[in-house]
């Protein structure tokens, strides 16, 4: 279980008002909860989904779990109640969903979001088995969409020559970057998991990295590719557009100075008087619209009484 359940509330909590799931920062762009093309549109889609009237009794997410969505209003000492949590376990994944109202997402749109969500659940939880595998060895990486200069973890499941999980063995990987350089890393056995070895590296370049994993004792070898997204950074050394900056200053009532006059500019700003708040007051009791509204209401009342034949 990727969460710690509330023993004092085994039946969960119900509400008369429906509350939708709220995506976390990780959930907005996660492959499991991506119901739209962009994270911003995805956030709007989840906010528009019908809410749920019940949720499970949860205290908090366990260490190592990824909270993708929380309850909109319900919270405890640990924060908002996590209702959509994932966590890797051995060679697979565990998904916890603390509500039974996903079927309500079909309202008005039929199977658009309901079918897409559960279809992505099946594909997301099973795709590791097809990422890269050979006879007696399987390799996958996390996160699934690595970014340049962020750590990437490699997980290898190795079987020995007899087909049993490898307990003691040497598992190594050679990583070839797109620029032609290479590095060798060693895997370490994962605690509590037979045959599962873990290693990590930090890609210095963007692009497709080729990974070759070998285990000499078992005679296993596998080759895979890890696509890394390159960071888009501002180019250094390009001259500033002084004409554009001067035009912005002229339109906004500012003043353009070069970096040489920075000290004088700071001194000039420091001696400026404090700006007083500007107030706009509207006297309703003497405003013509207020008098016109009173006359209009009285006129409507008089016409209504005349139409009903009242004096």
pLDDT of residue 202: 93
Identify whether residues 44 and 145 lie together within a single domain: no
Residue 187 domain-assigned (yes or no): yes
Identify whether residues 9 and 119 lie together within a single domain: yes
Residue 263 domain-assigned (yes or no): no
Which domain CATH number covers 114? 3.40.50.880
- Contact at 8 Å (CB) between 182 and 175? yes
Tokens of 300: 């409507």
Q: How many alpha carbons lie under 13 Å from residue 271 in its C-beta half-sphere? A: 5
- Contact at 8 Å (CB) between 101 and 75? no
Tokens of 266: 């700071």
Respond yes or no on whether the N-terminal peptide bond of residue 143 is cis (omega within 30° of 0). Answer: yes
Is residue 97 over pLDDT 70?
yes
Task: Give the span between the Cα atoms of 31 and 155, in whole angstroms.
Answer: 19
Identify whether residues 109 and 145 lie together within a single domain: no
Q: How many domains does the chain have?
A: 2
Beta bridge partners of 142: 153
Task: Give the span between the Cα atoms of 95 and 55, in whole angstroms.
Answer: 15
Q: What is the mean pLDDT of residues 86-110?
A: 84
Residue 89 domain-assigned (yes or no): yes
Identify whether residues 71 and 186 lie together within a single domain: no
Task: Give the span between the Cα atoms of 218 and 156, in whole angstroms.
Answer: 13
Which domain CATH number covers 194? 2.60.40.10
User: For 290-301, how does the pLDDT look when each residue is reduced to its tens digit (9 = 90+)?
Assistant: 889 999 999 999
pLDDT of residue 193: 65
Is residue 125 over pLDDT 80?
no
Identify whether residues 109 and 15 lie together within a single domain: yes
Identify whether residues 178 and 113 lie together within a single domain: no
Residue 58 domain-assigned (yes or no): yes
Is residue 93 over pLDDT 70?
yes
Task: Give the span between the Cα atoms of 278 and 287, in whole angstroms.
Answer: 21
pLDDT of residue 160: 83
pLDDT of residue 298: 93
Domain endpoint, select from 167, 197, 228: 228
Residue 71 domain-assigned (yes or no): yes
Residue 232, judged by CB atoms within 10 A of its CB (0-12, 13-18, 19+), counts as exposed
Identify whether residues 125 and 146 lie together within a single domain: no
Is residue 130 over pLDDT 60?
no
Is residue 155 over pLDDT 80?
yes
Measured in Å, how far apart are the chain's first and last C-alpha atoms? Answer: 76
Where in the sequence is the domain holding 164, given as residue range(s)? 131-228
Identify whether residues 116 and 148 lie together within a single domain: no
Is residue 131 over pLDDT 60?
no
User: For 59-91, how does the pLDDT look when each residue is reduced to its tens digit (9 = 90+)?
Assistant: 999 988 889 999 988 888 888 899 999 987 766
Confidence of residue 187 (pLDDT cuts 50, 70, 90): very high
Identify whether residues 96 and 193 lie together within a single domain: no
Tokens of 223: 């080759």
Nearest by Cα to 23 from 6, 5, 35: 35
Identify whether residues 196 and 118 lie together within a single domain: no
Is residue 183 over pLDDT 90?
yes
Q: What is the mean pLDDT of residues 132-152?
A: 81
Q: What is the mean pLDDT of residues 47-53?
A: 88
Identify whether residues 159 and 48 lie together within a single domain: no
Question: Residue 253: CB partners within 8 Å, gap ≥ 6?
Answer: none
User: For 252-304, how does the pLDDT look when each residue is reduced to its tens digit (9 = 90+)?
Assistant: 888 888 888 888 888 888 888 887 888 888 787 788 888 899 999 999 999 98
Identify whether residues 9 and 117 lie together within a single domain: yes
- Contact at 8 Å (CB) between 75 and 56? no
Residue 295 domain-assigned (yes or no): no
Domain endpoint, select from 129, 146, 179: 129
Tokens of 296: 């209009």
Task: Give the span between the Cα atoms of 45 and 24, in whole angstroms.
Answer: 14
Alpha-carbon radius of gyration of the chain? 31
Domain endpoint, select from 228, 243, 261: 228
Is residue 4 over pLDDT 70?
yes
Best mean pLDDT range from 98-112, 169-183, 191-205: 169-183
Residue 166 domain-assigned (yes or no): yes
Task: Give the span between the Cα atoms of 180 and 175, in whole angstroms.
Answer: 10
Residue 237 domain-assigned (yes or no): no
């Amino acid at each position: 279980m990727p969460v710690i359940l509330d023993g004092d509330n085994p039946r969960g909590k119900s509400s008369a008002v429906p509350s939708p799931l709220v995506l976390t920062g990780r959930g907005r762009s996660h492959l499991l909860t991506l119901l739209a093309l962009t994270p911003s549109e995805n956030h709007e889609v989840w906010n528009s989904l019908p809410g749920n009237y019940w949720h499970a009794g949860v205290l908090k997410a366990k260490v190592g779990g990824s909270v993708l969505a929380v309850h909109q209003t319900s919270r405890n000492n640990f924060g908002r109640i996590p209702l959509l949590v994932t966590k890797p376990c051995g060679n697979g994944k565990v998904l916890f969903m603390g509500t039974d109202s996903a079927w309500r997402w079909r309202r008005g749109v039929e199977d658009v979001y309901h079918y897409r969500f559960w279809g992505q659940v099946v594909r997301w939880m099973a795709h590791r088995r097809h990422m890269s595998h050979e006879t007696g060895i399987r390799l996958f990486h996390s996160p699934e969409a690595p970014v340049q200069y962020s750590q990437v973890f490699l997980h290898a499941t190795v079987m020995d020559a007899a087909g049993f999980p490898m307990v003691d063995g040497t598992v190594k990987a050679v990583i070839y970057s797109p620029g032609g350089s290479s590095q060798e890393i060693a895997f370490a056995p994962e605690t509590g998991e037979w045959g599962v070895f873990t290693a990590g590296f930090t890609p210095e370049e963007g692009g497709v990295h080729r990974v070759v994993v070998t285990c000499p004792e078992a005679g296993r070898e596998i080759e895979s590719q890890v696509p890394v997204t390159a960071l888009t950074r501002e180019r250094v050394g390009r001259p500033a557009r002084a004409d554009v900056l001067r035009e912005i200053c002229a339109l906004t009532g500012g003043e353009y100075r070069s970096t040489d006059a920075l000290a004088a500019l700071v001194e000039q700003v420091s001696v400026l008087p404090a700006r007083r708040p500007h107030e706009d007051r509207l006297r309703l009791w003497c405003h013509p619209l207020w008098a016109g509204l009173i006359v209009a209401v009285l006129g409507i009342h008089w016409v209504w009484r005349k139409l009903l034949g009242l004096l």
